[in-house]
Structure 1
Amino acid sequence: MRIRVVNPNTTAEMTARIEVNARAVAGPGVTVEAVTSAMGPASIESHYDEALSVPGVLAAVADGEASGVDGYVIACFGDPGLDAARELARGPVVGIAEAAMHAATLVGRGFSVVTTLDRTRGRAWELAARYGAAGACRGVHACDIPVLELDRDPHLADRVTALAGRALERDDSDVIVLGCAGMADLCATVAARLGVPVVDGVAAATLFVQSLVTLGLRTSPRGEFAPPPAKRYSGPLSGFGLPVPSRVA
């Protein structure tokens, strides 16, 4: 089984950290390959960034389809391009926010999200509603550290742990969701210090994809996620207008 983990930003150092965390949970016979988007922003911290990251995500999925990838993880907490990627892929596609929120509801009654910048909190709330977790999501809290500064802050674990601890008390929650792929390697440390489940979406999404492939479950080719109709695209997106092969149900 081959799982492709797509980093929607163009920062290769972050891709390397994401790959380590994804490979750590993969089962026997599962190959995990993390890829860096070939186009788009260096980090995703706004709606503008997210919109411009989607072509790179779709290019990575299209390339994976040509090389026989079995399933995909979208490794950004905004889950950019998730629906469009499902239209392209034969196998399952799972976003890390989607996976983390679903996993959190399986191990607690309520969860708090700890994310990066305050301006991204609204997107997390929107996704909680979309994924049916609005009632379980008790709060979204920002540490106000830019994504590209996460690996440069020597006190990151302390800051995130302190914020997560305050979130548990303020929200009366019992699970923490880490709201950025760049926080994935903090999971065990924060969980050990706080004594509650801490969910990393990269690990959760990798295992969800692995499980779906094992179960033989694919995105339905009927209705909204059917392959998109072939048509011409213009300008810088002209290369995205190629016909999409039919999927096998």
Structure 2
Amino acid sequence: MKLAIINPNSTESMTQKCKEVALKFKNNDTEIWASNPENSPKSIEGHYDEVKSLAGLMEEIKKAKDWGADAYVIACFDDPGLEAARELAEGPVIGICEAAMHMTTILASSFSVVTTLNRSVPIIEELSHKYGMSKFCRKVRAANIPVLSLEDGTCNAKQKIEKEILKAVEEDNCEAIILGCAGMADLTIELSQKCNIPVVDGVLCALKMAESLVGAKLKTSKINAYSYPIVK
């Protein structure tokens, strides 16, 4: 199968990180295509950045479709443009927040999310409600680190994430942790071992969900909500 991983921001190092995680865990017959728009925000931190990223994201979806993608992963935890992308594509389009929350509920009866900045907390809380996950989500927490600090190694980002995970375990009575940013995709194994709790990354969850759906020969419904955009 051909899987497109699209990072809606313009930071190529984050795109490459997502690709490396996918290459490490993909099935042998899965081919990975990873891209990002050139003219979108360098990081997506809030509603305005989401909107600014959408035009470029849709263009990348179209490029991936021309490449022959069987499925698509939108590698941003805010799941921007998810429904619009499903209108454009025939194969499954998976948001990493949606994938992570659904798959984590199979592993544990509750979870907390550790994300980057406080401004992302209400966005993820709303997604939790939208996806019917509020009863599982104990708390959405912010480690108070800018997204780009995950790329340049500043702000002691990894240590702050670990500290917030340990606080979640102690205070939230949660049974698993979801990392609320695609830029954290390479940290799950190390943090799971250090914190002695399942730590889940949405990029990997979306990859495996995509492989399962394509393997089951399932595609996006084109009846009503996700039908192709009307030509105007």
Q: So what's the TM-score if we normalise by structure 1?
A: 0.91
Question: What whole-Å deviation, never above 9, does each CA across 1:209-236 have from its counterpart, x for those lacking one?
Answer: 11100101111010100001101xxxxx
Query: Residue in 2 aligned with 1:206?
Result: 207
Query: Residue in 1 aligned with 2:59?
Result: 59
Query: Residue in 2 aligned with 1:222?
Result: 223
Gaps of 5+ in 1: 232-249
Name the structure, 1 or 2, with higher relative contact order (CA <8 Å, separation 6+). 2
Q: So what's the TM-score if we normalise by structure 2?
A: 0.97
Q: Distance in 1 between matches of 2:164 and 2:67?
A: 42
8 Å Cα contact 1:157-1:189 kept in structure 2: no
Matched residue type, 1:197: P
Query: Residue in 2 aligned with 1:123?
Result: 123
RMSD (Å), alpha carbons: 1.0
Matches within 5 A, 1:137-148: 137-148=137-148
Structure 1 residue runs of 4+, over 6 Å off? Answer: none
Gaps of 5+ in 2: none
What secondary structure sits across from 2:25 in the alignment? coil
1:50 aligns with 2:50: yes
Identity %: 42
Q: Distance in 2 between matches of 1:124 and 1:19?
A: 24
8 Å Cα contact 2:110-2:136 kept in structure 1: yes
Matches within 5 A, 1:136-215: 136-151=136-151, 152-153=153-154, 155-215=156-216
Mark the structure with the bigger radius of gyration.
Answer: 1
Query: Residue in 2 aligned with 1:247?
Result: none
What secondary structure sits across from 2:16 in the alignment? helix
8 Å Cα contact 1:61-1:85 kept in structure 2: yes
How far 1:155 sits from its partner (Å)? 3.2
Q: Aligned pair count?
A: 231
How far 1:158 sits from its partner (Å)? 2.1
Matched residue type, 1:141: R
